[in-house]
């Protein structure tokens, strides 16, 4: 029977590429999304992957959403916590709401989703959780104290939960993408983007499928000895 995977923020950008990669790996994929119904419908028509709408920052919604997926597709074996938002601003301009929105979605979403699926994974003695962090969680970024804090928190969350899951056959890993050619990066002003690319040793932005390839590797049946790791996919921009 095919493994069942949920990809949060799974209908666009990096999330769409991950959804497709896991489907190609033979999994039954559910793509979560938060807002754009029209885009989600087009995604399902294009890919054949069913989309489910809920806010990952809402604990109860995650419980209900995961239960719905399990009822319709089967027990959840894989979760990719990809959903993320930005609310950029320097500290003097950053409101509490900007801070809270990002922490609630980007970091809180990882807890909410893991809490919903972890008991079932433990019972079945198998699971794969992959959390999408960021180069900016590793190195920091001007004007992103909220985003950098949330993404950095994801890396710590990953290492701690990996220790809890290890003996139950559950691996928990993270991927830290660099600058990827998505809608989020496309919103960066051209002159700023040019300066960013100039700092990437390979001389280009990454592609969403390059992140998806890393996720597929970490979710594979034979990846059981990889846990608590952060895989940096950033073109050499941040090495440590």
Q: Which residues are catalytic?
A: 147
Encoded tokens for 30:
């559910």
Cβ atoms of 227 and 162 closer than 8 Å = yes
Quick one: how far is CA 178 from the chain centroid?
13
CA distances from 140 to 145, 148, 150 (A): 8, 6, 11
Q: What are the phi and psi torsion angles at 4 (to 5°)?
A: -105, 130
In this structure, how many other beta carbons lie within 10 angstroms of the beta carbon of residue 71?
Answer: 8
Encoded tokens for 116:
């919903």
Contacts 24+ apart (CB under 8 A), 141-144: 142/90, 143/88, 143/89, 143/90, 144/86, 144/88
Q: Please tell me the distance from the alpha carbon of residue 57 to that of residue 54, in angstroms, as a whole number.
A: 9
- Provide the total of helices (H) and of strands (E) in the chain, helices listed first: 10, 7
DSSP 206: B
CA distances from 136 to 26, 140, 200 (A): 32, 5, 14
Quick one: how far is CA 225 from the chain centroid?
21
């Amino acid at each position: 029977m095919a493994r069942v995977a949920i990809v949060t923020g799974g209908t666009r950008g990096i999330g769409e590429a991950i959804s497709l990669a896991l489907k190609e790996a033979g999994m039954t994929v559910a793509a979560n999304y938060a807002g754009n119904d029209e885009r989600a419908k087009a995604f399902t028509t294009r890919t054949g992957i069913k989309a489910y709408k809920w806010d990952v920052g809402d604990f109860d919604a995650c419980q209900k959403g995961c239960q719905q997926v399990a009822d319709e597709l089967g027990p959840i074996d894989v979760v990719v916590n990809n959903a993320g938002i930005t609310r950029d601003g320097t500290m003097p301009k950053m409101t509490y709401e900007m801070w809270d929105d990002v922490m609630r979605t980007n970091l809180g979403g990882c807890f909410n989703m893991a809490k919903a699926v972890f008991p079932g994974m433990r019972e079945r003695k198998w699971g794969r959780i992959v959390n999408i962090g960021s180069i900016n969680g590793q190195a920091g970024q001007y004007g992103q104290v909220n985003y950098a804090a949330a993404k950095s928190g994801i890396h710590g969350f990953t290492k701690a939960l990996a220790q809890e899951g290890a003996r139950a056959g559950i691996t928990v890993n993270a991927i830290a993408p660099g600058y990827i050619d998505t809608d989020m990066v496309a919103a960066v002003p051209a002159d700023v983007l040019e300066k960013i690319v100039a700092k990437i040793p390979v001389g280009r932005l990454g592609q969403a499928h390059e992140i998806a390839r890393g996720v597929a590797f970490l979710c594979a049946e034979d990846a059981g000895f990889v846990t608590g790791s952060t895989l940096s996919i950033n073109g050499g921009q941040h090495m440590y």
